[in-house]
Amino acid sequence: MAKNQKSYTPEFKQQIEDLYNAGGTSYPQLEREYGVNRSTISGWVKQLSSIKVSEEETVTLKEYKALQKEIQRLKIENEILKKATAIFAKEQ
């Protein structure tokens, strides 16, 4: 991390995202009030906003990306296991 770069807590980021998504506060207002760059706030809102995946379940963009990464890893693992099974089947 750069020397002059500020670090914000997850709670603070969530608070900013909640204020923005509540509809009463704009990016410029949040920028002035909290002294955080507009692009930083925009990134937090994008990352922390919920995505509805079913009637009762929502996930954040961060969680969604983690799930996509896990799916990709599992697909690769399955391919490796399929190839290993074919090799062992030939040996017997």
More confident residue, 91 or 3: 91
Burial 55-86 (b: 16+ CB within 10 A, else e): eeeeebeeeeeeeeeeeeeeeeeeeeeeeeee
What tens digit of pLDDT does each residue of 5-45 get?
788 898 999 899 888 888 888 899 999 999 999 999 999 88
* Domains of the chain as residue ranges with CATH: 10-91 (1.10.10)
DSSP 31: H
